Amino acid sequence: MFWNREMETIGEADLEELQLSRLKWTVAQARNIEFYQKAFSRAGVAPGDIECLDDIEKLPFTRKADLREGYPFGFLAVPMHDVVRIHTTSGTTGKPTVVCYTRQDIENWTELIARNLMMIGLTADDVFQNALGYGMFTGGLGFHYGAERIGMTVIPSATGNTKRQIEMIDDFGVTAINCTPSYGLHLAEVAEEMGSSLDSLKTAVFGAEPWSESMRAELERRLGVRAFDSYGMSEMYGPGAGFECEERDGLHIWHDCFLIEIIDPATGERLPDGERGELVVTPLVKEAMPLIRYRTGDITRILTEDCPCGRNGRIDRLSGRADDMLVIRGINVFPSQIEHTLLALPEVGDQFMVYVDRINHLDEMTIEVELNRRYFSGELADLQRIQQKVAGAIREALNLRTTVKLVEPGSLPRFEGKAKRVIDRRGAIW
Ligand SMILES: [Zn+2]
C-alpha cells in the first residue's frame, strides 16, 4: 500500500530534477548559517556552482563534532520565531546536539512516517502502541504524528512499566508495536512470565539500535509478529528516514527528501553504487536545520536492484560504524562483515576475536572463533576441514587472506554492552 504513490514511485529522471532543485534550495538555505558560509568559502564553492547532482562533491562534509561545537543554535537557519519544536540527542559523549523544527519540517517528517507505516501494511484499522521515549528523544513524537496521520488508533505508551504495556496490548487489542529491539525482547520475556500470548499483535517496528537477522527471528517467534527495521537519526528529523518494505530486503530511503552518497570513510572519496562504505546524507527539504553532506558514521551500501514493491532506491541494513573500520593491506574491513560470515557457519559459535599485527611491514589479521560445542570433540581431520571452511568463507567475504584459529567453546571473553572484538597491535602509522 502507498501513502503517496506518486512520490514513492517517482521515475528516475523526474527524481533527479526534483533532487537538483531541492539541493540548490538547501545550499541557499545553508548560507544562512555562519558555519556554512565559512565552509563554502574555504572550499571555494558558491551556490551557483551546483549545476548537477554530482556537483555535490564540491561541497564540504558536516560532522557530528561540528554540530556539537555549534551548540545550541549554531546550525539554525531560520529565526527562532519560526521554530515550533526543539529536540536534542542523548549526548552520551559531551554536549547534546540540538535539532530545531519549523512547522513545515514537522509536516514533512509526519509525511515520511505515514509513508513508512502504510508501506508495511498498517492502516486506520490498526491499533498502534508506541513504546518509544516521548521526551527529548525524537522516536516517540516522530512516530506518533505519522501514525495519527494515517488514522491509526495510537497508544502513546512510551517506555517502562512493562506489565502495564502488556495489559494494554491485551485489553486494547493492539495490532502493531513500535519499540527498540532490546525492549521487544524484554516485553516478550515479561509476557511469557505473565502468561500472556499477545494474540492481537501482528506487526512490530524496531529501531534506534542495531539488530541482527537472528534477533529478528527470535523477536518474531516470541512476540508472534512480522518485524520491520526502521532507520533514522535526529539530524534527519528523527526515525523514519529509511524503512523496510514488505520485502524486507534493505531499507528504502525517501530520495525526494534525502540525497545519499557512500564514501570511503578513510579518504572521503565517493564509492560506486554497491560498494560498502559510510553513509553521507544531505537532507533536501529541511528548513530550520539544513545540513550539507552529513557524515552519519553508519556503514552500508546502495542496493542497485529494483525492489519488487515498486519504490525507488534502497540501502542495505546498517552493518556497523565507520569508527570500527580497519584498513588491512589497503582493504577496508568491518568487524560486522566477519560476524556476519561466522554467523552463517553452523560449525562455529558467535563469539570471536580479531587481532591485527604488522609482521615484516605487512598487516596480518588473525581471527579466533569458538567451535560449536557439537563439533568440539571431533577428529583432527574434521577440525582441519572446519578451519579451512571458515578461512575460505572469510576470504570470500573480505577479499583478504587471514589466519583462522578455532578455540574451545566458552574460552573467549564475553562482553556486556559494546563488544571489543578487535585488538589492533600495529601501533601508530607514520
Ligand atoms: Zn520495497
> 243: CA distance to ligand 1 center in Å?
9
In this structure, what are the phi and psi dihedrals at residue 365, rounded to the nearest 5 degrees?
-115, 130
Check pLDDT > 70 for residue 417: no
Ligand 1 centroid–CA 313 distance in Å is 8
CA of 15 to the centre of ligand 1 (A): 17
What cell numbers appear for 75 in the block? 546550525
Q: How far is the CA of 312 from the centre of ligand 1 (A)?
A: 8
| CA of 29 relative to ligand 1 center, distance in Å | 32
The pLDDT, as a whole number, for residue 318 is 85
Q: How large is the average pLDDT for residues 199-221?
A: 91
CATH superfamily, domain 326-424, is ANL, C-terminal domain (3.30.300.30)
How confident is the model over 334-383, as pLDDT tens digits? 888 888 889 889 999 878 999 999 888 889 999 999 998 888 877 888 88
237 touches 261 (CB < 8 A)? no
How big, in percent rounded to 5, are the helix, strand and coil portions of the chain?
Answer: 35, 25, 40
Q: How far is the CA of 309 from the centre of ligand 1 (A)?
A: 4
- Cα 248 to middle of ligand 1, angstroms: 7
Which of residues 236 and 334 earns the better pLDDT score?
A: 236
Determine the distance separating the centroid of ligand 1 and the alpha carbon of 270, expressed in angstroms. Answer: 25
State the maximum Cα–Cα separation within the chain, in Å, rounded to a whole number. Answer: 74
What pTM was computed for the model? 0.84
Please give the Cα distance from 200 to 202 (Å, whole number): 6
Does the pLDDT of residue 430 top 90, yes or no?
no
Q: For residue range 308-329, list pLDDT tens digits in order.
A: 999 988 999 887 788 788 888 8
What number is the average pLDDT over the span 189-212?
92
Averaged pLDDT score across all residues of the chain: 92
Distance 245 CA to ligand 1 centre (A): 5
**d(CA 247, ligand 1 centre) in Å:** 6
What is the DSSP-derived secondary structure letter of residue 189?
A: H
Q: What is the pLDDT of residue 194?
A: 96
CA distance 412 to 401: 22
238 with 248: CB under 8 angstroms?
Answer: no
* Alpha carbon of 118 to ligand 1 centroid (Å): 12
Q: How far is the CA of 336 from the centre of ligand 1 (A)?
A: 24
CA distance 403 to 331: 16
CATH topology for 1-319?
Rossmann fold (3.40.50)
- Give the contacts of 92 (CB within 8 A, at least 6 positions apart): none
% the chain with pLDDT above 90: 73
In this structure, the number of other CB atoms found within 10 A of the CB of residue 317 comes to 19
In the reported structure, the alpha carbon of residue 160 is separated from the centroid of ligand 1 by a whole-number distance in angstroms of 33
When pLDDT is averaged across residues 26-35 and rounded to a whole number, the result is 97
How far away, in angstroms, is 241 Cα from ligand 1 center? 14
Distance (Å) from CA 147 to ligand 1 centroid: 20
Taking the centre of ligand 1 as the mean of its atom positions, its distance from the CA of residue 47, in whole angstroms, is: 34
Q: Which three cell numbers stand for residue 427?
A: 601501533
Q: Is the pLDDT of residue 98 over 50?
A: yes
**Which region among 155-164, 231-240, 378-387 has the lowest average model confidence (pLDDT)?**
378-387
**Section 9-14 average pLDDT:** 95
Whether 204 and 176 have beta carbons less than 8 Å apart is answered as yes
Spell out the domain ranges in the chain: 1-319, 326-424
Residue 418: predicted pLDDT: 63
First to last CA, the chain: 55
- The DSSP annotation for 142-173 comes to HHHHHHHHHT-EEE---S--HHHHHHHHHHHT
Q: What is the pLDDT of residues 70-87, one digit of tens each?
A: 999 999 999 999 999 999
Contact partners, residue 423, CB within 8 Å, separation at least 6: 353, 354, 355, 356
| pLDDT value for 212 | 82
Mean pLDDT of 397-415: 89
